[in-house]
Chain A
Amino acid sequence: GQNIDQPTEMTATEGAIVQINCTYQTSGFNGLFWYQQHAGEAPTFLSYNVLDGLEEKGRFSSFLSRSKGYSYLLLKELQMKDSASYLCAVKDDYKLSFGAGTTVTVRA
C-alpha cells in the first residue's frame, strides 16, 4: 500500500515563498504528482516528477528524491488566489494514491 504524509496547514504572506513537503512509502512508484484544489472544486494538475531533481513551471516548482521518499512543492511570489489545498499523490502501476492535503492560506 501507500503511506503519504504532508502538513495539514500552512500560512504565508502575499508575495512570499512557501514550501510544502511530502514524504511517502510505497509498494510501487511510477511518479509523484501535485494537485491544487480550491474548496468545493475538482483537483487540477500542477506538476509531475518521476526522476530525481527539480521541475520548474512558472511560479511553481516541484522536487523529488526517490531514495529519500521525499518531495516538495515550492510556491513563489504568492498570490491571494493561491489559497487552496495542495495534494501530493503517488502513482503505482495502476492508480494514484493521495495524501490528506495541505491547506495554504495566503494573507495580505
Chain B
Amino acid sequence: DGGITQSPKYLFRKEGQNVTLSCEQNLNHDAMYWYRQDPGQGLRLIYYSQIVNDFQKGDIAEGYSVSREKKESFPLTVTSAQKNPTAFYLCASGPKKQNYGYTFGSGTRLTVV
C-alpha cells in the first residue's frame, strides 16, 4: 500500500544535540512538506520541497535544515540552534494537482530534555 512513513514515533534528545527525523513516501508525489504542531496551535510550515534537489523555507525555518536528494525522502534535521524543539512534527506529501490536499505521516513527537 502506498503511504508516507515517519520514524521514529517518539524521540528523546538532550539539549544541544542535533537530531534528524525521517520521512519517506511511496506515493510518487512531487512535493513534500514539514510542519510543526504545538499544543493549542495549528500546523506551522517549516520547509517544503516541490522537486528533487530544491527546497524553500516556510514560516518557521530557523534552527532547522532539510535535504531532498531523492523524490521519496525528505529528512528534517532539528539543530541545536532551534530554541524550543520539543513539539509534534508532521511530514506530508502531495501531487502537483491543485485540487489535491496532502497525505500526512503519523508524526514524530520530539522531546528535548
Chain A partners chain B:
yes
Residues of A bordering B, CB below 8 Å: 1, 4, 8, 30-31, 33, 35, 40-45, 48, 50, 87, 89, 91, 94-101
**Which residues of B sit under 8 angstroms from A45, Cβ to Cβ?**
101-103
Interface status of B98 (Cβ within 8 A of chain A): yes
Contacts of A43 in B (CB 8 A): 43, 90, 104
Query: Please, how many residues of chain B have a CB less than 8 angstroms from a CB on the other chain?
Result: 26
Q: Which residues of B are in contact with A by a Cβ distance under 8 Å?
A: 31, 33, 35, 40-45, 48, 50, 56, 58-59, 88, 90, 98-99, 101-107, 109
Cβ-Cβ contact count across A and B, 8 Å cutoff: 57
Asked if A95 contacts B33 (CB within 8 A), the reply is: yes
Q: Check B107–A35 contact: CB distance below 8 A.
A: no
Q: Contact partner of B48 among A31, A42, A94, CB < 8 A?
A: A94
Q: Which residue of A lies closest to B105 (CB)?
A: A42
